[in-house]
Chains A and B, each alone.
Chain A
Amino acid sequence: MTTEQLIREIRAGSVAAQQCFFRLYSARLLMLCRRYVKSREDAEERMLDGFFKFFKTIDSFEFISDAALFAWLKQIMIHECLCQLRKKNSFQLVSESEAMDITIEEDALNNLSAAALFSLIVQLPVGYRTVFNLYAVEGLTHKEIAGALGISEGSSKSQLWKARALLQKMIHANENDHAKQQSK
């Protein structure tokens, strides 16, 4: 059964199709939610909220491709996570002037594996993490991030720079630890 047929069955009200769809996408979307919401329980709750909204609004969704469907699902999940973060008001704001001095090495993150990258991102403070996820992973502009989080554009930039600096430090620390273990 293709994804399009699955969507059609869900629209017809098939619970089995819903369950199949959930099995297909839940694991990846849970990892997506965990990138924004650190706690696994909270991330699972946000994922369930996202699926609930998707099944409710599936009539307004027009299937074009699998990639478009996954992008749509990601958008719903990210929205749910940001709603919770906004409720908690957990963004750390850094002024733009402080962030201007921070520089980062090119391709430092690209050399990491997915799991390593994920574990580093999860260790970031919530404000840094959110802006980094939205800018570096999802490809949003600073203006869009500022609108989504209710912060200024400059704050979004400074959060991103801080996140990069912290990630670089963590990467260097991991490399040093790895080198020490190899020398021993």
Chain B
Amino acid sequence: MKTIMQNNNPNNQHILQHKLDELDHLPCEEAISFDASWQKLELRMNPVRRRRRNYLYWIAAACLVAGFLLPWALNKQKPNLNEVVSNRLPITPATSIKSNNLVDSNANNSRQAPMLVNTVKITEKPPFKAPAVLEKQIVVIPENPVALKQSPEQEIIPAPVVDISAPVTAIVVKKPLGVVHLNDLNNADGSQLEKTAGNENKRILRFIKRTGVETSLGDSPDERTSGNHILLKNIN
């Protein structure tokens, strides 16, 4: 007898299922090795070992990156002479910044006053050894102190006693004095010496007139011009 669907009978399906479920190994094949399979399963269930391995790889990679970046970071920490080393913030005598909430209420307390701020500018390795230049800048505090807001937590508290009425010197510029060599004073024609000698004679004549001492200059032109030898004749 032939049928199209053999497994319409549920008993047939149960027989097949029971047969195959009870089969734990094929006679021609070797059975499963439990220990090897269990080790594989244990590795999947405890990925700690894998994580440790990964952790070591990450540490090695981090060391490598640090090895590359450390010299660069150290170079960056050295002062860059092109940049301004210190640029002090302007400090108003009337106010000190503490919190921002009182800015508007204390707006009238702060006045516009020029302030001196020192900034040191160092140039990087000039071709010749130049001293550090001290520059003085004028900082004008804006009329609207709200502009001083730096962070929302800051407020401006006025200093207790400050006299701003006295004028503050605006600019102090040190003008370097010219250096004149001694040789420059002694010209070849001796004109400078003549001038000094003439002035000296005039002073002596004025002194004689006042005191009544008779004097005479030397006869030789050298004595006259040099002014070094003055003959004094006592009239009395």
Q: Which of A47, A52, A136, A161 contacts B13 (CB 8 A)?
A: A136
Interface string of A14-32 (1 = CB under 8 A from B): 0100110011001110111
| A30-B20 CB under 8 A given contacts A51-B41, A136-B13, A139-B10 | no
Contact A139 B41 (CB under 8 A): no
Q: How far is the CA of A106 from the CA of B24 in the complex (A)?
A: 27
A1 within 8 Å of B (CB atoms) = no
Q: Which positions 1-36 of chain B face chain A at CB distance < 8 Å?
A: 1-4, 6-7, 10, 12-17, 19-27, 31-32, 34
Contact A52 B16 (CB under 8 A): no
Contact A115 B16 (CB under 8 A): no
**Chain B nearest Cβ from A33, distance in angstroms:** 11
Which of chain A's residues has its CB closest to B3's CB? A106
Interface of chain A: mostly helix, strand, loop or mixed = helix
Contact A103 B13 (CB under 8 A): no
Q: How far is the CA of A138 from the CA of B19 in the complex (A)?
A: 12
Contact A114 B23 (CB under 8 A): yes
Which of chain A's residues has its CB closest to B18's CB? A114
A110 within 8 Å of B (CB atoms) = yes
Chain B contact-residue range equals 20 to 34
**Chain A nearest Cβ from B174, distance in angstroms:** 82
**Chain B nearest Cβ from A113, distance in angstroms:** 8
Interface centre among B10, B13, B32, by most A CB within 10 Å? B32
Interface string of A107-140 (1 = CB under 8 A from B): 1111001110111010000000000000111110
| A28-B41 CB under 8 A given contacts A135-B7, A138-B17 | no
B48 within 8 Å of A (CB atoms) = no
Interface string of B25-53 (1 = CB under 8 A from A): 11100011010011011101100000000
**Chain A nearest Cβ from B23, distance in angstroms:** 5
**Chain B nearest Cβ from A28, distance in angstroms:** 5
**Chain B nearest Cβ from A109, distance in angstroms:** 6
**Chain B nearest Cβ from A72, distance in angstroms:** 13
Q: Which of B3, B7, B20, B42 contacts A31 (CB 8 A)?
A: B20
23 A-B residue pairings within 8 Å (CB atoms): A15-B42, A19-B38, A26-B34, A27-B24, A27-B32, A28-B22, A28-B24, A31-B20, A47-B37, A48-B40, A103-B3, A104-B2, A104-B3, A104-B4, A106-B2, A106-B3, A109-B16, A117-B19, A136-B7, A137-B16, A137-B17, A138-B17, A139-B10
What residues make up the interface of A, taking CB atoms closer than 8 Å to B? 15, 18-19, 22-23, 26-28, 30-32, 35, 44, 47-48, 51-52, 55, 70, 74, 102-110, 113-115, 117-119, 121, 135-139, 161, 164
7 closest A-B pairs (Cβ-Cβ)?
Answer: A27-B24, A114-B19, A103-B2, A114-B23, A136-B7, A28-B24, A139-B13
